[in-house]
Structure 1
């Protein structure tokens, strides 16, 4: 008996098998939670706090980088190498934290419409107003086009979780790596390198591809379409002009050139620290996002769900939480440590998940369902093993 079969048997012996779960009652129990929901000013203020924390991290990061570059390359003084690198790298880390916070703690819930029902909510914090048109440059300037990510994530991922039509199906997306005739250590190396640039290499072109194929019903056909980074193709020009260049030019050309009065060496140093900040942002976001639905104890499904109760069941069986606690802990995880609650209630504020977690746990206990919650560091190791093909996901037979 293989390790996979042993693990599957253990789960089925401890928890109610998929086909035996009372999906109708599960739907009633979860729908009952919705009747208690009242989104209000408190939730909005919680969002503003998370936004302030992210902006503070970003501005402090830029301040430290600017300070060390100016001090080191001005004619007044020169920093020791240790001080230069210590504060420069710290600034890069803070920029990375702010980058992830802007995506996970602010953009993510707003584009789900989480605060739309707050009375008198400013338009810029609503799904209809956030990052629209020129506001992209203020609200969420990144490699990813907001509209494309909203469709890829909010629609395709959330409503096809664990299915072949889920664009973020890690095992399916990395079949090419599983089949590659290379040593296992090279597969691990590819994953680790990819983690440092995945927003640019995967998320930007993938969201473009998904949005362009909005009317295509087959994800298999979409996956067979290669990305085009060439500016000499129509798709490539769109990728560069609408996705990559707005952020790339501002972050890695405009900002470093502000230091040109101090010489090209200062420009190069600023560019290097900003590039390092981008690397940290990629690693941080990869750490908290990718393991949410990908490991050997996560279920996948071969057919669409047939009822709302079955939809709820799949969100539970196809998701995993990380350690939760204070706002600071949750902020560091981008509130993605409440992934089960988020997938059950995707259009709810982050503050809601903290309140609902105990109730969702009780519902899982009532139906004898596994509520997965572990350290994000343990989960990332399990995810990487899945990505290189060392392990495989669980599958519910026939569904």
Structure 2
């Protein structure tokens, strides 16, 4: 399948890049993360290690263990939002090796930084919300996420059962989708770039490490039943948290799902305007939510400038909002997270009944 082609860049994108560059030149700030981000990373990674050690080697009482599993699932998601995500985009630190370390936290947690780079950085950020290309939209046949996907009778209830499938994201990611991409050599309909020998060794080495750390060793220490209960609970919390935060950016009522021309594969908009039409922010005034989700509530800023760390998004949002107003372009945002969640549920209901 020929990939979509965007229209030539318009003056909006050039002006936006100029104003953003001027901001960093004027303030003298680096576009990467700062000391506070390093501190947050140390806190989250330390919390994960502490929870893991206590659960596996000290075997707390059942009630306490389940509470720790819930917390551990949340910490896993927060590491993904705050550490891995910026590291994978090369914006966590000005030091390249530290970006690689941050990105590699995904490998330690069971995923593949190689597959993530192809799926998220390359495909999703380039072809956002284009059905058949953006792999993030493919939850078929269980859910219908775009107007162009086939609708099945069960989809009428997807706004009620979506939470179940979101809880399965982490488990399916670790045990199924990474392997599917590895053996098919595709991210959806996009060919996966060739893997080097080192890439293959890293993929399999960390997959085995993950099985040892999160399956074999815990079963040996606490037994099959307690491990299964804890693993499922931790994975469900991590999966749902990761899913809902990413879904609020693109599968809401305000977001568009542009379709390329059937024969030429050309898109109506240029890349930057396409990002504005397919992306929405939420709860950007909440410092707590911004801290927890690693700035991923500023999705407009992130999609326009993915190589800039999320610690700068609150300042960039003012520049982008003003530029959008001057050019008469949309800047889509939900003032509260609960409004975005409600819009996502309404969107799912619409897709299920349209």
**TM-score, normalising length: structure 2:** 0.76
Return the offset for 1:331.
2.6
Q: Which residue of 2 aligns with 1:25?
A: 12
Say which is worse superposed, 325-334 or 49-58, in terms of deviation: 325-334
Q: Which residue of 1 aligns with 2:290?
A: 330
Q: Which residue of 2 aligns with 1:184?
A: 156
Alignment of 1:149-160 (within 5 A): 149-160=116-127
Q: 1:283 to 1:386 in 2, by over 3 A?
A: same
Q: Which residue of 2 aligns with 1:378?
A: 339
Q: 1:244 to 1:279 in 2, by over 3 A?
A: farther
- The 8 Å contact of residues 61 and 90 in structure 1, kept in 2 or not, is answered as no
Q: Following the alignment from structure 2 to structure 1, what is the Cα–Cα distance between the partners of residues 272 and 248? A: 19
Q: Which residue of 2 aligns with 1:52?
A: 42
Q: 1:390 to 1:111 in 2, by over 3 A?
A: same
- The 8 Å contact of residues 293 and 318 in structure 1, kept in 2 or not, is answered as yes
Q: Following the alignment from structure 2 to structure 1, what is the Cα–Cα distance between the partners of residues 309 and 123? A: 21
Q: Following the alignment from structure 2 to structure 1, what is the Cα–Cα distance between the partners of residues 99 and 154? A: 47
Return the offset for 1:50.
2.1
SS at match of 1:36: helix
Q: Does 1:200 align with 2:171?
A: yes
Runs of at least 5 residues in structure 2 that lack an aligned partner in the other structure: 1-6, 192-200
SS at match of 1:330: helix
Question: Given the alignment, which residue of 191, 215, 237 partners 1:280?
Answer: 237
Deviation string 1:1-23 (CA, Å, 9 cap, x unpaired) is xxxxxxxxxxxxxxxxxx9xx93
Q: Which residue of 1 aligns with 2:99?
A: 126
**TM-score, normalising length: structure 1:** 0.68
Q: Following the alignment from structure 1 to structure 2, what is the Cα–Cα distance between the partners of residues 146 and 221? A: 17
For the pair shown, the structure with the greater C-alpha radius of gyration is: 1
Return the offset for 1:315.
1.1
Q: Which residue of 2 aligns with 1:302?
A: 259
Q: Following the alignment from structure 2 to structure 1, what is the Cα–Cα distance between the partners of residues 19 and 230? A: 50
Question: Given the alignment, which residue of 210, 219, 232 partners 1:247?
Answer: 210
Return the offset for 1:299.
1.1
Say which is worse superposed, 335-344 or 173-182, in terms of deviation: 173-182
Alignment of 1:359-370 (within 5 A): 359-370=319-330
Deviation string 1:186-225 (CA, Å, 9 cap, x unpaired) is x3455222111113325764455556666x7x95588xxx
Q: Following the alignment from structure 2 to structure 1, what is the Cα–Cα distance between the partners of residues 31 and 321? A: 26
Alignment of 1:1-399 (within 5 A): 23-37=10-24, 40=30, 43-62=33-52, 65=55, 69-70=59-60, 72=61, 84-85=62-63, 87-115=64-92, 118=94, 121=95, 123-127=96-100, 136=104, 140-164=107-131, 165-169=133-137, 174-175=143-144, 179-182=151-154, 184-185=156-157, 187-188=158-159, 190-201=161-172, 205-209=176-180, 245-259=208-222, 264=223, 268-303=225-260, 310-325=270-285, 328-374=288-334, 375-387=336-348, 389-390=351-352
Q: Following the alignment from structure 2 to structure 1, what is the Cα–Cα distance between the partners of residues 171 and 151? A: 24
Q: Following the alignment from structure 1 to structure 2, what is the Cα–Cα distance between the partners of residues 391 and 39? A: 49
Q: Following the alignment from structure 1 to structure 2, what is the Cα–Cα distance between the partners of residues 31 and 211? A: 39
Q: Following the alignment from structure 1 to structure 2, what is the Cα–Cα distance between the partners of residues 209 and 172? A: 15
Q: Following the alignment from structure 1 to structure 2, what is the Cα–Cα distance between the partners of residues 204 and 329? A: 30
Q: Following the alignment from structure 1 to structure 2, what is the Cα–Cα distance between the partners of residues 377 and 40? A: 33
Return the offset for 1:358.
1.5
Q: Following the alignment from structure 1 to structure 2, what is the Cα–Cα distance between the partners of residues 244 and 274? A: 16
Deviation string 1:292-337 (CA, Å, 9 cap, x unpaired) is 1112321122226779x82111111111111124654213223210
Runs of at least 5 residues in structure 1 that lack an aligned partner in the other structure: 1-18, 73-83, 223-237, 393-399
Q: 1:115 to 1:333 in 2, by over 3 A?
A: closer
Q: Following the alignment from structure 1 to structure 2, what is the Cα–Cα distance between the partners of residues 163 and 175? A: 14
Return the offset for 1:58.
2.0
- The 8 Å contact of residues 148 and 207 in structure 1, kept in 2 or not, is answered as yes
